[in-house]
Structure 1
């Protein structure tokens, strides 16, 4: 292992290795919901955490979204919403997949991602070779905690059997990176694969001054 590479690299999935939802996929969700704009997207995000933690099923999640939007979704409509939602989180960034594969041959790599049970199963079906690169796969729905809750990071560290100081955590959300740093992990706010490669060579530098996420 190269001395310039951290002993353990812990990656977020969505917004780092996998791409965010495309405009086309968001439109497909809107069509299935027969809603658009803040009326749909505000409850979609505001009510997401219990779904990510595994506290709520996909059907229950979409029912709560409907109530918040002051409408109702039928059972078939909910099935369509779940399917379109899963589709929207399906695309990976090939450059980042190559980077993870390269790093897995040089150091230990782990995955720490907020995702509900439906999406975890979908990702495992769709991206099995990618997931097999990770020594530990920490999915919020199976831990019962979600970033930026401290418990999700400590669970991952316990599974790896390493101190926080031996890890670099990579995420595209500022609050998630800062939560990791509060536990003693080196943090990197992801912007691009090239910038991440530079940061990996200098794992102890501060990497979260940029706003956003």
Structure 2
């Protein structure tokens, strides 16, 4: 079983965090939010370092990319993605008796390092693929192929669980089974059914 992280096991970005980062940068929230997401894919995919990403964001807003500002934004950004759903963490850990369990998450390399430090349970899974580390971010097929190779399994042996349609469809295009995560309650029935299939 291959799980997405944010929106499934971990929570989405903390509400209000983009307003706080915008204030740190000195930009209006709307403009900051647009710049934050426009450049995100390259950062998630390990094509840019944190300073490169934040410099691009600030320059697009006609702001000076000072090292101290970049570091404050970087740390605030990491903190904004730091929450987990403890119930899902427990559930995923319980599945290890029944299947190999892996993670595939779009997350920058420096965020991944911080997440691993704060959440040591992740290290006990069968495989962890963080986009910033493997240099490929969903829905890029290369991200899914990395997991197929790493776990020495056929695509059809996987059930990929994600809260975004485009990522589930991309996984299915590689030959994986896919499940769109919409909540904790429906999750148990769907995943347990798949695990029980002959």
Shorter-chain TM-score above 0.5: yes
Partner residue of 1:209?
none
* Equivalent residue pairs, number: 195
Residues 3-152 of structure 1 mapped to structure 2, 5 A cutoff:
9-128=1-120, 130-152=121-143
Point out the structure with the larger helix share: 2
Structure 1: unaligned runs, 5 residues or longer: 1-8, 205-213
- Work out whether residues 33 and 73 of structure 1, in 8 Å CA contact, stay in contact via their aligned partners in 2: no
- Work out whether residues 19 and 29 of structure 2, in 8 Å CA contact, stay in contact via their aligned partners in 1: no
CA positional deviation for 1:199: 1.1
Report the Cα distance in structure 1 between the residues aligned to 2:192 and 2:82, rounded to whole angstroms: 30
- Work out whether residues 51 and 141 of structure 1, in 8 Å CA contact, stay in contact via their aligned partners in 2: yes
Partner residue of 2:170?
179
- Work out whether residues 18 and 33 of structure 2, in 8 Å CA contact, stay in contact via their aligned partners in 1: no
- Work out whether residues 10 and 84 of structure 2, in 8 Å CA contact, stay in contact via their aligned partners in 1: yes
Q: Over aligned residue pairs, what C-alpha RMSD do you find? A: 1.4
- Work out whether residues 8 and 162 of structure 2, in 8 Å CA contact, stay in contact via their aligned partners in 1: yes
Structure 2: unaligned runs, 5 residues or longer: none
SS at match of 1:55: coil
TM-score (norm 2): 0.93
**Deviant stretches of 4+, over 3 Å:** none
- Work out whether residues 99 and 193 of structure 1, in 8 Å CA contact, stay in contact via their aligned partners in 2: no
Report the Cα distance in structure 2 between the residues aligned to 1:142 and 1:26, rounded to whole angstroms: 24
Partner residue of 1:159?
150
